[in-house]
Amino acid sequence: DTATTEQEFRIPAPPPLRSRDPFVPLRLFAYPLPKDRLAHWAKTHNIPETDESDLHQDAFDDISRQRPPRGWCRITSVYYDGRKVARALVIASNRSKEEMVQSQDVDLIQHYRNLLHTDPGWFRQFCC
């Protein structure tokens, strides 16, 4: 479940840095946005109803436009809740120490928690 709880949020511990020897896979610190969350966003932000696919895309585009100027953010797809796949806003990765820093940026994390009403976590990138 990607819903925000009323409990105090604790930033998840970061994984080790990505490495080839020994192998450590890439992990993304992200906010998954499954279709049900996008549909809810569309409804609460008065996005006109179109077909379901367009509605999800319009909601995602609306969310993407509200990214803060400080800090980078990427968009990709991640595995969440086991093998489910969703688009996600990525604010950090274990690719480098510099990117790992953003996974501890409380202001940036809270901005997205307030915007999306969901918590971030460490996820594997979806590869088709």
Q: Is residue 1 part of a domain?
A: no
Q: Is residue 11 part of a domain?
A: no
Q: Who's near 58: CB < 8 A, 6+ residues apart?
A: 42, 47, 48, 50
Q: Is residue 91 part of a domain?
A: yes
Largest CA distance in the chain: 50
Q: Given a cut of 60, is residue 3 above it in pLDDT?
A: no
Residue 112 identity? Y
Rounded CA-CA distance 108/91 in Å is: 8
Q: Is residue 128 part of a domain?
A: no
Q: Report the mean per-residue pLDDT for the chain.
A: 88
Q: Is residue 14 part of a domain?
A: no
Q: Is residue 60 part of a domain?
A: yes
Q: What is the pLDDT of residue 7?
A: 60
Q: Are strands 74-80 and 84-93 parallel, antiparallel or unpaired?
A: antiparallel
Q: What is the pLDDT of residue 9?
A: 84
Q: Is residue 30 part of a domain?
A: yes
Tally of structural domains, the chain: 1
Q: What is the pLDDT of residue 5?
A: 45
Global pTM reads: 0.85
pLDDT interval class at 62 (50, 70, 90): very high
Q: Is residue 3 part of a domain?
A: no
